[in-house]
Structure formats: C-alpha cells, structure tokens
C-alpha cells in the first residue's frame, strides 16, 4: 500500500483543471438536458399545466395507440428511406468523386473540390428555396430543360406527389451533403503511401484493380465512419423537410420524418397545441434509434474492420 | 490609475443600467405573427397612438406566421415575451390564459364596444372572462381578374352551376388558368376551399353548432357534398398544382395568369401592391336549390396583455386606445381585408374590401367550424381537415373517405360525438 500510495500521490492532479471546462460545459449543455428530456417523457400534463408522473404510459401510447403509432411508424419508415437513399447514393458518389479527385493527373482539382463542397456550406433554407424554384411546375427550369432534351412527358410536380416527394427531398439532401463524404474519403486516400500504388503498378495492376484491392480496403474505416455520421445526421434531420414542406410534412405525411414529427408534437402546429411530454417521448425514441445504430457500429462493425498499419 | 479606470467603468455600467431601466418603463413590445404588417404598424398605427401618448414607446416585433405559436410559447415559458401578445382565436390563446400568461381584460375601458360573437373567440368556455381585445376578422370568398372577365365576356357567377360554366369558358379559352390554388401547403385546400364554400352547405352557425353539440356528424351530406365540390376544382387548377404553394398561387393571380383566386380577404393588401389590373370579389356561389348564402367571417386576430409584463398600465392604455373608433378606422383602412370587430361605424376606402364587408348585409356570417372546441384533442380536427381536403383535391381520397376519417378522429376524443 505504501509503495502504491507513493505512486498515487504523484497522480497529476492538474489534469482535473484541464478536463474541467469540457466536462462542465458538456454536462451542463448536453448530458443534463438529455437526461432531463428523458425524465420529462415520463410525465404528463393536465389542463392547468401541472405535471404528473406516469411512468412509461407515454411510450405505450406512442407505440400502441393507432393515432400516435401510425404517425410514429410512418416517420420511422420515412426516416429509414431517407437514410437508405443517402447510403446508396450519397456515399458511393462521395467515394467515386474522391477517387477521381485523387487521380494523379487531374487538372483543376481544387476547383472541382471547391465547387462540389460549396452546397454543403450553404444554408439549408437557401438550398430548399433554390430547389423548390428549380422543380416548380410554374416557374422552374426543370421542365424546360427536360423539354429541351425531348423528355417533357417525364416532368411531374415531384415535390407535391406522395410517391415522389420523399425521394426528391432525399436527393436534394444528397446533392447538398455529398461534399462531406467526398472530403473525408479524399483525405483518407491521400494518406495512402505512394509506394503501395507504385508497387502495384510494377506488379501489373491497372487503376481499377488498385482502387478495388488496395485503396478501398485501406479507406474502409473512413467509409464506416462516414456511414455512422450519415446515420446520426439523417435521424436528426429536420431542417430541409421543414423549410420545403413545412411542419405538416405533406402531402399526407409522406415526407414526415422523426424530426418533423417531434417538432409538431412538442411545439404544436396551427391549432394543435404543443405537448411537451409526448414531444420528449418522441425525442427519446429518436435518441434510442440513434443509440442502437451507434452501438451496433461500435460493437459489431468496428470490431470486424481490419486496420492496416501503413 | 488602474483603480481609476475600474471605478469609471463601474460608474459607466451603473449609469447605463439606470438609463435602460428608465426607458424600459415606457417601452411596449408587441408580439405578432403578422410580419407582413410591420410597415403599417411602425409607420401608421404606432405614430397615431404616440400623438396621444408620446410618453409610451411601442415596438412591433413580429415573427414568421409558421413559427409564431411555437416561438411565443417558448418565450412566455422563458419569461422573455413582449408586453402585448397578438392572440390567435380560441384554444391556442385560451390555453395561454389558463396557464396564467394572459391577463383578464373585462374591466378594460371600451370592452363593451365588442359584441359577444366578436369576444367569443377570446373568452373562457363559460364566457366569464375575456382576455384579449378583438382586432379583426377575415372573410372568405373569391377574388377575380375583372379585365380577364371583361375580355372573355364573363359575368360574375352567383350559383355553383354558373361558377363551373365560367370555369369551363376560361379553360376553353386557354389564356388564363381558371383557378389559382395549390395543394402543396395543404391549408389552402382547407381554408380557401373547404371553409370558404362549406358554410353554404352546413348552413353556417347552425351546422357549426350542431357539430359541437354532437347532433351532426362530419359524415353527413353537407360535409361530403362540400368535399365533392372541392374535388371538382382540380381540373381547373394550374398544371402541377400539387407542388404549388401559397405564394405561387398569389403570384399566378397578381401576374395576371389566373382568372379566379379562392381568397381570404387578407389577400387584398398583397394584391393591391402587386396586381396592376382591376380585381373584384364575389361570395361563394350558392349550391343548387339554396336560397340563402353563408360566408366565413372568421374572428382571426386580437391583442392580449402578458401577465408577466412590467408595463401593465402603459399596456392597458394602449389596449384601451385599440377599442376606439380611431383605431378601427386606421386599422381597417391600413389593412384592407381585416375587418374591425368593434361596433363603431367605419368607412372603408378600398372598394374590394368594401365588397367583402357588404356581404355581411346579404349573407349569414359564421366562423371556421374547426376552431372552437373541436380542435382541442388528438387528432386535431383542423390539421385533419388540411390533410384530407388536400388529398380530396389531389384525388388520392374520395369525399366519403375524407368524411369517415375526420369523423373517426373526432369520435376518438370528443364526448358529444361518441
């Protein structure tokens, strides 16, 4: 004990000073509100605004009462579609763009990089507005562009139809955020030492083979990270749908995702009064979905990934 | 030296704090969703008030309409809301009163200038306390392009049969889009469509009160007929109306590309500044066999007093001024299309607004049927009406299905309908 006590006394106590700001701020502004909103979801309000503890009643209502559960499952389903479109379109395109950008003989590399990254830096409200104008059946250019290439019959009011609105919004979001996977993967590609690719060329591999057999395995950890970032961002998404379709996420809730459902529930909408406790319940469910996804990544995917020391 | 700087800084801080405190004693902030009216308040209404009360500074601080309810509730809960609160009619404001955010104004000088109907939207269910000064109502109808009508040799329709004849002629001519309305925002379909033509079917107040009493159902003929009428509008609406939003509808009309616009009277202000042609208005055409017309004359906007305000007296002075004939005249003419609810005789300078208000003499007035009591539960009737009315026009739902869905929603929580 004596010897180890001596070691303990040399514990660098000043680390607390360095840890304190982040810990305090994070606890105060992230952990406490999170726990408090979970607590709020266990309560219910009456007409006078007083809160009563109800246990898990809100969750049971949300999942079993058709009035709530229809909206909830619909939002969850739409959110998965939203996420799948990003995974299937945004990330492959991001990888492809990054691979093209990292080709050794490419002129105008920085120009492309800047242009593709540009939409990511614009406000979602502006993106929503621009695309609404482009796709507008009244003033938009998309119809004349389609007419120009002889596809006028293909034009539809995509943002206004139940079958196409969610897909259109997902693709708008993909267009905006494709720069992020591109940049992250581009950075990972740049980290791959040239000896590896040069060695492969000497061994007779072409660019295609180099990409599939050397570069892709090396950037897999980055792709996994991009995927989990996409997952978290998509299940927290709200702004694009709200700015284009409003909180009612029409037509007929076909673009309703967890974020808009939460907003409507918590803050109310038009004559519908806000319901803070049900809103907190929806928010906690969102947190739960994201938590399950992230845990799956941490404990299943990440452990299977092979990392190569370069 | 350092000490001196410190002291003078402290002194400066204290004096500036005192100065703001003194100013704050006479500054009233008005919370509102009418950001369109910002100029009118700051240039016309507030200066007129300041002529009488130069010591009270008034600031008009509006938010975008869609964010208002959420934003206001957050501000009230946080204690940072303005002194005067623009109140939506019925439950949204009643809840604010029940939670103690609004002051009862029954003793306010001038409150007797308002009829019981005018006050009903901002009263407790038993009618004992009124908590807002009613400002204005809005009337629904149709606004039409007079020049287009003249060009095509059309006359204003008074019955539904005539209405569709007119629409057919406009469509056959092809110069104009017959009806300027979209379903992308959903509320247009419910408010400008369903609530506009519906009162003719459910006989105004009679039908509205029967729904509240539980003696009528949304599956009854008047309601399915209203939706059936709405469904007939779709072929006359612009191409791609499913993605057409409210500003698109307004622009189509003011650019002279559409002939008829299902309107709320509040649109007059926008059209006056944007349309360079003459336009007029007609009330919802009568269904076959009907002899009496009904209009939606909806109590829409009022001003209440924040219970947490530190300037109660100044705020009451302002509210009392709002009950006077001077305010009614000023407001009605600055914002043609918002019709004062007080009993003062007000002359309107805007011809179209005058047309709208004339219908009060020839038609029975009612308010939107989803506003009082019926939107209190979950699901919310108003939101349901938006959703189903848009779907009926989009032809993804039949009028009968719309009726069934809304009635089922009402039965779920509203006792008299169960």
> Is A68-304 CATH 1.10.3720.10?
yes
- The model's pTM: 0.82
Per-residue tokens: A184:
């992250």
Which residue does chain B place closest to A45, by CA atoms?
B99
Instruction: Round to whole Å and give the CA distance between B242 and B416.
Output: 36
Q: Which domains does chain B have, with CATH numbers?
A: 2-137+299-355 (3.40.190.10), 139-297+365-417 (3.40.190.10)
CB contact under 8 A, B182 and A156: no
Q: Which of residues 49-78 of A touch B (CB under 8 A)?
A: 49, 67-68
Instruction: Round to whole Å and give the CA distance between B211 and B406.
Output: 12
Answer for the pair B371, B301: CB distance below 8 angstroms, yes or no: no
In which band, very low, low, confident or very high, does the pLDDT at A41 lie, cut at 50, 70 and 90?
very high
- Smallest CA–CA distance, residue A139 to chain B, in Å, is 9
In which band, very low, low, confident or very high, does the pLDDT at B6 lie, cut at 50, 70 and 90?
low
* Sequence spans of domains, chain A: 68-304
B25 touches chain A (CB under 8 A): no
DSSP SS3 for B238: coil
Q: Which of A299, A195, A285, A297 is nearest to A236 (CA)?
A: A285
Answer for the pair B323, B112: CB distance below 8 angstroms, yes or no: no
Which residue does chain B place closest to A156, by CA atoms?
B240
Residue B83 pLDDT > 90, yes or no?
A: yes
Facing A159 at nearest CB: one of B91, B243, B391: B243
Chain A environment of B393 (Cβ under 8 Å) = none
Q: Could you tell me where the beta strands, DSSP code E, fall in A199-254? A: none
CB contact under 8 A, A271 and B390: no
Instruction: Round to whole Å and give the CA distance between B280 and B144.
Output: 5
Instruction: Round to whole Å and give the CA distance between B280 and B261.
Output: 10
Residue B352 pLDDT > 80, yes or no?
A: yes
Mean pLDDT check: name the lowest of A277-291, B330-344, B381-395: B330-344
For helices A66-85 and A57-64, angle between their N-to-C axes, nearest 10 degrees: 70
Report the number of secondary-structure helices (H) and strands (E) in chain B: 20, 10
Chain B environment of A250 (Cβ under 8 Å) = 184-186, 387, 390
Chain A environment of B69 (Cβ under 8 Å) = 267-270, 274
Instruction: Round to whole Å and give the CA distance between B414 and B418.
Output: 7
In which band, very low, low, confident or very high, does the pLDDT at A2 lie, cut at 50, 70 and 90?
very low
Residue A3 pLDDT > 50, yes or no?
A: no
Q: So what's the pLDDT on residue B343?
A: 85
Q: So what's the pLDDT on residue B14?
A: 54
- Smallest CA–CA distance, residue B387 to chain A, in Å, is 6
Residue A6 pLDDT > 60, yes or no?
A: no
Q: What average pLDDT does the structure give for chain A?
A: 90
Within 10 A of B133 (CB to CB), how many other CB atoms are there? 29
In which band, very low, low, confident or very high, does the pLDDT at B20 lie, cut at 50, 70 and 90?
very low
Instruction: Round to whole Å and give the CA distance between B215 and B217.
Output: 7
Residue B95 pLDDT > 90, yes or no?
A: no
**Secondary structure of A115-172 in the HEC alphabet?**
HHHHHHHCCHHHHHHHHHHHHCCCCCCHHHHHHHCCCHHHCCCHHHCCCCHHHHHHHH
Chain A environment of B92 (Cβ under 8 Å) = 268, 271, 273
Residue scoring higher pLDDT (A1 or A226): A226
In which band, very low, low, confident or very high, does the pLDDT at B221 lie, cut at 50, 70 and 90?
very high
B383 touches chain A (CB under 8 A): yes
Residues A246-279 pLDDT 10s: 888 989 899 999 999 999 999 888 778 788 899 9
Q: So what's the pLDDT on residue B70?
A: 80
Q: What are phi and psi of B179, to 5 degrees?
A: -120, 125
Mean pLDDT check: name the lowest of A123-132, B23-32, B121-130: B23-32
How many contacts, defined by CB atoms under 8 Å, are there between A and B? 119
DSSP SS3 for A45: strand
Facing B73 at nearest CB: one of A135, A138, A267: A267
Best mutation site among A167, A169, A271, A279 for testing chain B: the one with the most B CBs within 10 Å?
A271
Residue B13 pLDDT > 60, yes or no?
A: no
Facing A248 at nearest CB: one of B92, B186, B391: B186
CB contact under 8 A, A246 and B238: no
Residue B159 pLDDT > 70, yes or no?
A: yes
Instruction: Round to whole Å and give the CA distance between A17 and A23.
Output: 10
Instruction: Round to whole Å and give the CA distance between A234 and A81.
Output: 10
Best mutation site among B239, B378, B387 for testing chain A: the one with the most A CBs within 10 Å?
B378
**For B37-43, what is the mean pLDDT?**
90
Q: Which of B254, B253, B255, B217 is nearest to B237 (CA)?
A: B253
CB contact under 8 A, B184 and A159: yes
Q: Between the CA atoms of A237, A240, A244 and A247, what dihedral angle is there, to the nearest 10 degrees?
A: 30
Residues A160-196 pLDDT 10s: 999 999 999 999 999 999 999 999 999 999 999 889 8
Q: Which of B344, B418, B394 is nearest to B182 (CA)?
A: B394
Best mutation site among B33, B190, B242 for testing chain A: the one with the most A CBs within 10 Å?
B242
B272 touches chain A (CB under 8 A): no
Q: Which of B221, B375, B192, B342 is nearest to B289 (CA)?
A: B221
**For B276-285, what is the mean pLDDT?**
95
- Smallest CA–CA distance, residue B175 to chain A, in Å, is 15
Residue B5 pLDDT > 70, yes or no?
A: no
CB contact under 8 A, A271 and B387: no
Which residue does chain B place closest to A249, by CA atoms?
B185
A157 touches chain B (CB under 8 A): yes
Facing A251 at nearest CB: one of B240, B242, B381: B242
In which band, very low, low, confident or very high, does the pLDDT at B155 lie, cut at 50, 70 and 90?
very high
Q: So what's the pLDDT on residue B362?
A: 92
Answer for the pair B141, B359: CB distance below 8 angstroms, yes or no: yes
In which band, very low, low, confident or very high, does the pLDDT at A24 lie, cut at 50, 70 and 90?
very high
Quick one: what percent of chain B has pLDDT higher than 70?
94
Instruction: Round to whole Å and give the CA distance between B273 and B257.
Output: 17
Chain B environment of A159 (Cβ under 8 Å) = 184, 243
Instruction: Round to whole Å and give the CA distance between B41 and B417.
Output: 43
CB contact under 8 A, A247 and B66: yes
ipTM above 0.90, yes or no: no
Answer for the pair B297, B137: CB distance below 8 angstroms, yes or no: yes
- The residue whose two tokens read 């002899």 is B291
């Amino acid at each position: 004990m004596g010897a180890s006590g001596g070691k303990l006394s040399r514990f660098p106590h000043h680390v607390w000073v360095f840890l304190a700001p982040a810990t305090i701020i994070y606890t105060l502004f992230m952990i406490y509100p999170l726990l408090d909103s979970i607590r709020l979801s266990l309560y219910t309000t009456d007409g006078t605004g007083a809160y009563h503890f109800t246990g898990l009643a809100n969750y049971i209502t949300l999942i079993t009462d058709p009035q709530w559960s229809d909206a909830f499952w619909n939002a969850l389903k739409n959110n998965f579609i939203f996420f799948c479109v990003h995974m299937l379109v945004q990330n492959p395109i991001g990888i492809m763009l990054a691979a093209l950008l990292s080709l050794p003989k490419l002129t105008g590399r920085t120009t492309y990089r800047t242009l593709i990254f540009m939409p990511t830096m614009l406000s979602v409200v502006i993106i929503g507005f621009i695309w609404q104008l482009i796709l507008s059946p009244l003033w938009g250019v998309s119809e004349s562009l389609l007419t120009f290439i002889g596809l006028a019959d293909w034009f539809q009011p995509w943002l206004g139809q139940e079958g196409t609105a969610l897909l259109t919004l997902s693709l708008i979001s993909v267009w905006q955020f494709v720069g992020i996977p591109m940049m992250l993967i581009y950075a990972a590609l740049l980290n791959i030492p040239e000896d590896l690719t040069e060695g492969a060329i000497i061994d007779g591999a072409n660019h295609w083979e180099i990409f599939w057999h050397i570069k892709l395995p090396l950037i897999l950890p980055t792709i996994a990270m991009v995927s989990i970032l996409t997952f978290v961002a998509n299940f927290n998404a709200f702004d694009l749908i709200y700015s284009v379709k409003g909180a009612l996420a029409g037509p007929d809730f076909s673009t309703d995702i967890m974020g808009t459902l939460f907003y409507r529930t918590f803050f109310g909408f038009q004559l519908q009064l806000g319901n803070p406790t049900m809103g907190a319940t929806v928010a906690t469910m969102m947190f739960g979905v994201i938590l399950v996804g992230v845990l799956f990544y941490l404990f299943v995917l990440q452990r299977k990934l092979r990392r190569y020391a370069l | 030296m350092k000490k001196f700087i410190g002291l003078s800084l402290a002194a400066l801080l204290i004096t500036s704090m005192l100065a703001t405190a003194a100013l704050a004693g006479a500054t009233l902030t008005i919370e509102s969703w009418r950001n369109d009216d910002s100029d009118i308040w700051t240039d016309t209404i507030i200066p007129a008030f300041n002529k009488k009360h130069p010591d009270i500074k008034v600031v008009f601080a509006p938010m975008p309409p869609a964010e208002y309810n959420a934003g206001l509730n957050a501000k009230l809960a946080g204690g940072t809301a303005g002194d005067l609160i623009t109140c939506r009619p019925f439950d949204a404001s009643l809840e604010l009163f029940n939670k103690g955010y609004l002051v009862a104004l029954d003793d306010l000088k001038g409150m007797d200038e308002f009829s019981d109907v005018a006050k009903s939207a901002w009263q407790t269910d038993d009618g004992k306390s009124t908590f807002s000064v009613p400002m204005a109502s809005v009337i629904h109808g149709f606004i039409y392009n007079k020049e287009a009508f003249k060009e095509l040799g059309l006359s204003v329709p008074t019955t539904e049969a005539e209405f569709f004849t007119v629409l057919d002629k406009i469509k056959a001519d092809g110069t104009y889009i017959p009806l300027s309305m979209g379903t992308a925002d959903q509320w247009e379909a419910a408010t400008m469509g369903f609530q506009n033509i519906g009162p003719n079917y459910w006989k105004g107040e009679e039908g509205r009160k029967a729904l509240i009493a539980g003696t009528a159902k949304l599956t009854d003929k008047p309601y399915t007929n209203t939706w059936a009428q709405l469904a007939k509008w779709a072929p006359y609406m612009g191409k791609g109306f499913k993605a057409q939003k409210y500003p698109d509808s307004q622009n189509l009309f003011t650019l002279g590309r559409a002939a008829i616009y299902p309107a709320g009277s509040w649109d007059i202000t926008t059209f006056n500044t944007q349309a360079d042609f003459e336009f007029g208005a007609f009330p919802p055409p009568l269904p076959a066999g009907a002899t009496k017309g009904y209009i939606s004359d909806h109590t829409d906007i009022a001003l209440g007093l924040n219970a947490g305000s530190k300037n109660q007296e100044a705020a009451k002075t302002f509210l009392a001024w709002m009950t006077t004939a001077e305010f009614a005249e000023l407001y009605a003419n600055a914002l043609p299309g918002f019709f004062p609810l007080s009993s003062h005789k007000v002359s309107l300078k805007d011809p179209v607004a005058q047309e709208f208000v004339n219908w009060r003499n020839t038609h029975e007035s009612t308010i939107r049927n989803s506003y009082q009591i019926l939107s209190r539960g979950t699901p919310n009737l108003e939101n349901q009406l938006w959703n189903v009315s848009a779907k009926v026009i989009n032809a993804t739902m039949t009028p009968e299905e719309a009726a069934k869905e809304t009635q089922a929603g009402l039965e779920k929580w509203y006792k008299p309908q169960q």
